[in-house]
Amino acid sequence: MTLIGYAGLDRIGRFDDNAGVLGAVSEDVLGPLSFLVVLSVITSGIASTQTTILPASRTSLSMAAGGAFPKRFATIHPRFLTPAYGTIVIGVVAVAWYVGASAVSDNFLFDSLSALSLLIAFYYGLTGIACAIYWRHELTRSVKNFVFIGIAPVVGALMLFYLLYESVTELSDPGSSYSGTSVLGVGVPLAIALLFFILGLVLMVAWRLTGGREFFARKSFEAVPPEIAAGGGHVESVGASEEEVPG
């Protein structure tokens, strides 16, 4: 609103959603110091790319420690104490996809980001449900527990699933995507999301048939151990050729 108030709607409207509007207005406001705005945008972009790698590498670390992923992803760098192997693998995959999508077109890159939002809504929706299930024996111990680790995660999950439904409905129309093209009768973002969802199912089945039988052999939903809930639990190291995350 401040930007519109200063430069006017007509001038801002010419840029649409192009980030170049920041550079254009900064020259009027800061003069020779307008490069600071460009530097801020670049710094923000770098931080955003890091958020692409860090959550995924930490997720692979957790999954590997739990037996749902190859143990190699649970290795911790002895000096930096980071999930080095997972970070490198995820970083390479992210860079390859970004460069490939950019080479195809900017529209395809933006459609990829829209597809990512669908997967995030699905993932965090399941996380909210899983939180209530995992802590289910602690929900009735206090009103605080019931609200913050029971109701709140479930309500958040239901909201995300609703937004997921609305987004899928919208993106099923090819005209709602950046590229405006159709893939198997749906928009590109929805097609990309379905592709990665199916790929995830394939990899899950492959892991089940190869090295993850123990993980999938569990008979019921897990619950937090009482000693952990009471704050008296402890962690144990997972043995490997390199130092690994506590399991």
Residue-wise pLDDT for 193-239, tens only, equals 999 999 999 999 998 888 778 888 877 788 888 777 777 655 454 43
Q: Is the pLDDT of residue 102 over 60?
A: yes
Report DSSP state, residue 215: H
Distance of CA 155 to the CA centre of its chain: 20
Percent of the chain with pLDDT over 90: 24
pLDDT digits (tens, 9 = 90+) for 2-17: 655 555 556 555 555 5
Determine the 3-state secondary structure of 155 from DSSP. Answer: helix
2 or 93, greater pLDDT: 93
Binned at pLDDT 50, 70 and 90, residue 158 comes out as: very high
Average pLDDT estimate for 16-32:
63
The Cα 53–Cα 50 span in angstroms is 5
Q: Quick one: CA torsion of 4, 5, 9, 13, rounded to 10 degrees?
A: -20
Q: What is the pLDDT, as a whole number, of residue 13?
A: 58
Distances (CA, A) of 53 to 14, 66, 92: 34, 20, 9
Q: What are the residue ranges spanned by the domains of the chain?
A: 106-216
The counts of H helices and E strands in the chain are 11, 2
Spatial distance between the Cα atoms of 72 and 241, rounded to a whole number of angstroms: 9
Token digits for 32? 């020779």
89-114 in b/e form (b: 16+ CB < 10 A) is bbbeeeeeeeeebeeeeeebbbbbeb
Highest mean predicted confidence (pLDDT) among 137-151, 179-193, 211-225: 137-151
Mean pLDDT of 55-82: 88
Would you mind telling me the total number of residues written for the chain in this entry?
Answer: 247
Q: What's the pTM?
A: 0.69
Q: Give residues with Cβ within 8 angstroms of 139, minimum separation 6.
A: 132, 145, 146, 149, 150
**Confidence (pLDDT) at 241:** 40
User: Which of 44-53, 153-162, 199-208 comes out lowest in average pLDDT?
Assistant: 44-53
